[in-house]
Amino acid sequence: AQKVTQAQTEISVVEKEDVTLDCVYETRDTTYYLFWYKQPPSGELVFLIRRNSFDEQNEISGRYSWNFQKSTSSFNFTITASQVVDSAVYFCALSAFEGGADGLTFGKGTHLIIQP
Amino acid sequence: DTGVSQDPRHKITKRGQNVTFRCDPISEHNRLYWYRQTLGQGPEFLTYFQNEAQLEKSRLLSDRFSAERPKGSFSTLEIQRTEQGDSAMYLCASSLMIAEAFFGQGTRLTVV
């Protein structure tokens, strides 16, 4: 069975601070895919990143960066110089299938609050 | 194309009534998915279609739930004899095979 744990239920920081959202996963599959989604108050899940289990390189996209460590089964997400617009619920997800949402297992999400 | 569209955005119904939701995927996407999300939880997979074929159904999808995707375009999710426990956000997503899924804004169902 697959499982995704986001231990941080809610994080509140002041604007411009850096913040890291933790994600720990469990799977018996040797090939799997990890995702991060953002859910603003409007409710729509916004895709942020997909990473496959063979690629452990960290990735940076603007103020966002992701740290994938297979040894600890973690896929953490860091926002640098946070902004109020980053306030949302962030979900980490795991899939045994390539790319698509079939079989996506989501964590419970981390509610990120960026205070001005 | 502006993305995945879901209708209605909100639905309030009395217990025991039937409800139907609609999802219009991104036009060229051949895969369509339904998820359910309750307050404070992540989305839970319900079912998915590849074109018009329903390929997988979660055990969460009881016999009161039925989904269709006629002609491989839009999809409907019907819940019969609604119960209070069905209150949730119902999310639809679509994708091309071997590509990330794009989600709609969801239909929030409240059963009173």
Which chain A positions have a beta carbon within 8 Å of B89's beta carbon? 43
The phi and psi torsions of A30 (rounded to 5 degrees) equal -85, -25
Residues of chain A found within 8 Å of residue B44, distances taken between Cβ atoms = 106
Span B79-94, mean pLDDT? 96
* pLDDT of B98 strictly over 80: no
Pick A109's closest partner by Cβ from B42, B100, B103.
B42
For the stretch B20-38, pLDDT in tens is 999 999 998 999 999 999 9
Could you tell me the pLDDT band of residue B1, with boundaries at 50, 70 and 90?
Answer: low
Closest by Cα among A1, A24, A5, A26 to A107: A5
Q: Do B99 and A93 touch (CB under 8 A)?
A: no
Half-sphere exposure (Cβ direction) of B110: Cα atoms closer than 13 Å: 5
Q: Which one, of A87, A96, A116, A106, lies nearest residue A36 by Cα? A: A106
Regarding predicted confidence, which is higher, A33 or B112?
B112
Nearest to B100 among A99, A105, A108 (CB): A99
Q: What is the pLDDT of residue B101?
A: 84
Q: Which residues of B touch A (CB under 8 A)?
A: 31, 33, 35, 40-45, 48, 55-56, 89, 91, 93, 95, 97-106, 108
Mean pLDDT, residues B59-87: 93
Contact B23, B69 (CB under 8 A): no
Note the pLDDT of residue A42. 84
In tens, the pLDDT along B39-61 reads 989 999 999 898 999 988 888 88
Query: Hey, are the CB atoms on B101 and A100 less than 8 Å from each other?
Result: yes
A-B C-beta contacts closer than 8 Å: 72
CB contact under 8 Å between A106 and B42, yes or no, is: yes
User: How does pLDDT run along chain A (116 residues), one tens digit per residue?
Assistant: 789 999 999 999 999 999 999 999 999 888 888 999 999 988 889 999 988 888 888 888 899 999 999 999 999 999 999 999 999 999 999 987 654 556 788 999 999 999 99
All residues of chain B having their beta carbon less than 8 Å from the beta carbon of residue A100 are 31, 33, 48, 95, 97-101
Task: Provide the pLDDT confidence category of residue B100 given band limits of 50, 70 and 90.
Answer: confident
Print burial letters for A76-112: b (CB count within 10 Å at least 16), e (below 16): bbbbeebeeebbbbbbbbbbbeebbbbbbbbbbbbbb
Cα A4 from Cα A14, distance rounded (Å): 27
Query: Measured between alpha carbons, how far is B50 from A1 in angstroms, rounded to an integer?
Result: 24
pLDDT at residue A95, as a whole number? 86
B43 contacts A91? CB cut-off 8 A: yes
Q: List the one residue out of B102, B75, B95 whose CA is nearest residue B31.
A: B95
**B108: which chain A residues are within 8 Å (Cβ-Cβ)?**
43
Is-contact B45 B63, C-beta < 8 A? no
